[in-house]
Each structure stands twice: as C-alpha cells, then as structure tokens.
Amino acid sequence: MNKVGDRIVEFSFIIDVIAMILQTFMFSIFSLSSPFFIFFWVIVFLIALQYRRIAAQKEKLFGVKDETVWQQVTIAIVCGILGGIVGAVLMVLGGITITNIGIGFLWAVAIMLLLVSPRFVCFAYAGSIISLSYLLFGWPNIDIAHLMGLVAILHLIESFLIVANGHLGAMPVYTKNHRGETVGAFTLQKFWPIPIVALMVVAGVPPTDGTIPTPDWWPIIKPFESVPEYSFYLMLPIIAALGYGDIAMTMNPQRKSYYTAALLSVYSIILLVLAIIASHHPHLLILPVLFCVLGHELTIYIGKRNEMQGKPLYVASDIGVRLLDVTKGSPAMKMGIRSGDIILSINSMKVENRYHLAALLQTVNNFIEVEYIKNSDNKVYRETQWLTPGKHLGIIPVPEPTDAAQVELSNTGILVRFIQKMIKKFKGER
C-alpha cells in the first residue's frame, strides 16, 4: 500500500475507533437495556454519599455550608465521562487488552493492600506485585506490558481529572505539620465515576460486519503471546471509579492539585513508554515493573517532602487575622475577601486574633465595614456590606498557635489498626 493509502487507513482507523468508543459509552451509561447502566449509577450514588459525608464534616467543623452535593456529583460525572473517553481512546489505540492481565489477581492484591494502608489501594502496587511474581515464579501467567500500560493510562486519566477539578470543594482543616505545629490546611478529596472501554480478545471466527481495518503500526503495545488466527478484538465497556486524596499546607488547593497532576502525568508517560519498549523487547520487562512501584513512591515522596519541609501557608499573621477559607456566596466573598487575606479591622475596631474577631462579629448589626490586606497584591482594602442579623460573614480563620488540631493524618489500614489495638490491649493486660 502506498503512503496515501496508509494515511487514509490510519485516519479512518482513528475516526472509527472514536466513533465506536462514543457509541459504546452512550449505550453503557444511558441505555436502560445495558447491563452496565445500573453499575455506573450505583457508583455515582456511592460517590454522592462520599461528597455528602465531606459536606457534613465541613459543616460540623466550621458551621458553614458550601457547594451542594449534587453540584459536586454533576461535575464529577461530566469530568469522569470525559476522562474515560480520553483513557478509552488511548487504550484502544495502544491495543491494550484485559484478556491476559490478571484482573482477578489485581483486585485481590489491591484489597489485601487496603488492609495494610489506604494509600496502597492503587493498581501501581498490585500490578507490580503480580508482575514480579510472574517474573520470579512464572505465576500468574499475565501480559506484563499490557498490565503496565493499563496502570499508566489509569494514572494519566487521574492526572487529567485532578487538573480539571481536583482543587474544587477543598475542605479547610486544622492539622499538625511535621514539627508538631497546628496549621491551617486543605484536604483535597475527589471521586469520579469512570466509564471506560477496553479491548478483549475473543477466540472464534471474526464477524462479517463491524470490523475496522487496522494500520500496520497497531497495536502500539505488542501482545506477549500472538493473537490466534481465528479471533477478533471486542470493545468491552468497564465501569470503575477513581479517587484522589491530598493535603495542601504550603500551597493553595489549585496550585497543589496542578503540582500533583504534573508529577503524576510525568510518571504515567514514562511508565507508558517503558511498557511500549518492553512489549517489543521482552527481556526489558523488569524496567516498567520496577518503575511502576518505585516511580510511584518517588512521586509521593516528592509531594510529601514539599508539604512537610516547606513553609506553611495558612498560619497566624503578626497583625490581624489571616483567613483559611471563605465560603461561596457569603457576604465576605461578595466583598472580595478570599483565602489568605488578612482582616485588620471590623467597623473601625482593630482585630487582635480570631477569638477577638468572633467577638467583634457578634456586635455587628446590619452594617459591616471590613478593612483587610489582600493576599494577591498585599494592598489594603476597605469594603462595606449589609449583613442580615444572625447571618454569618462566611469566613474561616487560620488556627492560633494554641489551637488543637481537628484531624490527624494517618495512612494505617484496618488490619494494621487491629494489630496495634491488640498489642495495646495485650500490654495493658500484662
């Protein structure tokens, strides 16, 4: 075939792949006759419960309400679908199949790792463990290159979603840094329903219609074992969920999410490249397997190091009261006050600390004048607003040095906590 013919086949292949993916998506999540319809919306319901829990926790800690749960769920659905489409296109163009990657083993190991620590609930760790088991003991029989490609694309989807809305709905908290100081921070918790399309090799006579001519370069990630002559690739919808958890102490939530997404995308791209190389050169399979877990740990280490060793952003200022957060739609937000700003006075009365600020706000009757320093340009502003009696200004100050932490950061799993509890109980009995 000449070059023009090759280009036509390639272009037609890509267009047909995208069209089939979109068709599969529409059927799997919006058609009542689809067996995946219920799975998708059950996951959406479970995600809604998580966002409801977070909203209730924020109201309990600070007595304020922010975005509605359904606003966050709607954004999660839209972003999840877009992320799933991007991931599906990458998986299909890469030729990644789920036929021989040990999905059952992958989930089993992931669940066992959950008992050790929630942070290990990631296919990077589970995939590395079963891949090393295959390289060392020949069991379970899996296609390592395709498994590593799957892990890389899932993390690439996650980085896309973190950029899209990982910082939205960040919850303000008081916590302790590595020096034991109580500081203000934001916990970033997001959940997305992910409908995705994967390939499966089906043995038998290829169908007479619905097939797509493939270019010579496809698949990009070569299968470990040759595909049987009388077989075909089937697009199979898969419904899953992705979660993101992080904390921002030295950066604002948006910058923190962008930083994390950048680290994660670099990790994903390197892992994907190594998976492609290893699929063409099987003697190099150990490279993506080792990088899968070590690179992931390095990504986490870099992120944590910057948070723990950097200068806390949300701490008490020498003058006035620095703000940790401002609730959406509140009088303070209408006055232009934002997170990181410093309130200097209320109705011309100087503010000493957050307790003094709370007392001054109790004296406000209808009219309020706030003098504050804007964090973005370090200039002093004075704004006025009518404040309905009993209505909150909508601000959350940073903690004072003597304040207690509201949350403690922990990565211990159910099994580890149970063992620790039993050890303490045993020591107490003795």
Q: What is the pLDDT of residues 164-191, one digit of tens each?
A: 999 988 989 998 887 888 999 999 989 9
Answer for the pair 288, 274: CB distance below 8 angstroms, yes or no: yes
pLDDT per position as a tens digit, 325-377: 998 888 999 999 999 999 999 999 999 998 899 888 888 888 899 999 999 89
pLDDT interval class at 76 (50, 70, 90) = very high
Q: What is the pLDDT of residue 367?
A: 87
**Chain mean pLDDT for the chain:** 86
Tokens standing for residue 76: 């999660």
CATH number at residue 355: 2.30.42.10
Residue 420, exposed/middle/buried by CB under 10 A (0-12, 13-18, 19+)?
exposed
Q: What is the pLDDT of residue 184?
A: 93
Q: Return the residue matching tokens 């919808």.
A: 237
Q: What is the pLDDT of residue 320?
A: 94
Candidate from 74-88, 122-136, 197-211, 270-284 with smallest mean pLDDT: 197-211
Note whether residue 296 is domain-resident: yes
**Are 159 and 220 members of one domain?**
yes
**Are 126 and 247 members of one domain?**
yes
**Are 250 and 341 members of one domain?**
no
Q: What is the pLDDT of residue 209?
A: 60
Of the residues 309, 335, 357, the one at which a domain ends: 309
Domains in the chain, number: 2
**Are 103 and 175 members of one domain?**
yes
More confident residue, 229 or 16: 16
Q: What is the DSSP letter of 406?
A: S
d(CA 117, CA 125): 12
Handedness of CA 196, 157, 54, 376 (dihedral sign): negative
State the amino acid at position 322 in one-letter form.
R
**Are 253 and 335 members of one domain?**
no
**Are 375 and 230 members of one domain?**
no
d(CA 370, CA 8): 65
Q: Which residues of 205-219 are buried (b: 16+ CB within 10 A; e: fewer)?
A: eeeeeeebeeeeebb
pLDDT per position as a tens digit, 236-252: 888 888 889 889 999 99
d(CA 244, CA 40): 19
**Domain that includes residue 362, residue range:** 321-397
pLDDT interval class at 430 (50, 70, 90) = very low
SS (H, E, C) 349-384: EECCCHHHHHHHHHCCEEEEEEEEECCCCCCEEEEE
Dmax over CA atoms of the chain, in Å, equals 83
